Amino acid sequence: MDHPSKVAVVTGVGRRRSIGAALALGLARDGWNLVINHWKPYDDRLGLDSSPDDVTAIAAECRGLGVAVELVPGDLSDPDVPAALISAGQGIGPVTGLVMSHCESVDSSILTTSLESWDRHFAVNARATWLLIKAFAEPLPEVSAGVIGGRIVALTSDHTVHNLPYGASKGALDRIVTAAAVELAGRGVRANVINPGPIDTGWMDDGVRGWATGATPAGRLGTPSDTADLVRFLFSDAGSWINGQLLHSNGGFNVS
């Protein structure tokens, strides 16, 4: 380990094509030791492009960049998993980074959403976000004004129509993370939310791909690396003045 004081927990790193994979690799390039969380049953349920050794290959590539990596599978609908992830990171060193790219996302609308699906979306997307931040922040000491004690970034979405429980629970995530920027200020926490817009991680067909590209003024779809680059900036000293924000990193998609 070149930087034993830089330990980050990253959730949602189950597939090679995921945003989470790009986040893990990007932070590893910047010297962050990692706890990588994944949950294969969710990836299998979605049926998106993946292979059985994706997460181990990602971890091996991160280790090749000189950082320590712990792979910790876990279903974030289980309220015990968030604290277990932070504890795994503390086995490497003080955990000062938290990136939440996990989600539950199953399309349904007002008339078709089941109670079970609603509860699972909120357990994974909202409750686990709160519990991860709580477990992350509790060990952090009070610091002097201006000192950075920890960095939090979560990924969100504004897609709600016919994706009701996903969009509603992501809205709750936004509020939880921006509250952390204020409530945890005494511990030196910087907390932000990123809305990356439509990124093809294997879920788009040609029609969606063409529509989303045409609706993006930058003239192309976003990539997982675009999101990872912004997280790397927010985790750097240069990005420490940004706090309590919901940032749209989407090539202008939301204003077109």
Residue-wise pLDDT for 3-28, tens only, equals 667 999 999 998 888 999 999 999 99
What pLDDT is recorded for position 256?
47
Q: Tell me which DSSP letter residue 222 carries.
A: B
Percent of the chain with pLDDT over 90: 77
Beta sheet of 33-38, edge-to-edge order: 69-73, 33-38, 7-11, 95-100, 150-155, 189-195, 246-248
Of 170, 123, 155, 146, which is closest to residue 18 (Cα–Cα)? 155
Do the beta carbons of residue 165 and residue 213 sit within 8 Å? no
| Residue 42, in any domain of the structure | yes
Q: Which tens digits make up the pLDDT trace of 117-165?
A: 999 999 999 999 999 999 999 999 999 998 999 999 999 999 899 999 9
Sequence-ordered strand ranges (E) for 28-140: 33-38, 69-73, 95-100
The structure's pTM equals: 0.94
Q: Which tens digits make up the pLDDT trace of 55-74?
A: 999 999 999 999 999 999 99
| Residue 56, in any domain of the structure | yes
CATH number for position 220 = 3.40.50.720
Range of 163's domain? 7-255
Element containing residue 225 per DSSP (H, E): helix 224-234
Does 105 score more than 70 pLDDT?
yes
| Residue 2, in any domain of the structure | no
Does 194 score more than 50 pLDDT?
yes
| Residue 1, in any domain of the structure | no
| Residue 171, in any domain of the structure | yes
CA–centroid distance for 112 within its chain: 27
What is the DSSP pairing of strand 150-155 with strand 189-195?
parallel
Q: Number of folded domains in the chain?
A: 1
Give the type of residue at 38. H
Identify any residues that bridge with 99 across adjacent strands, giving them in sequence order.
10, 153
Do the beta carbons of residue 102 and residue 76 sit within 8 Å? yes
What pLDDT is recorded for position 254?
73
> Which residue matches tokens 């989407």?
250
List all residues 6 or more positions away from 88 whose beta carbon is below 8 Å from its beta carbon: 9, 35, 70, 72
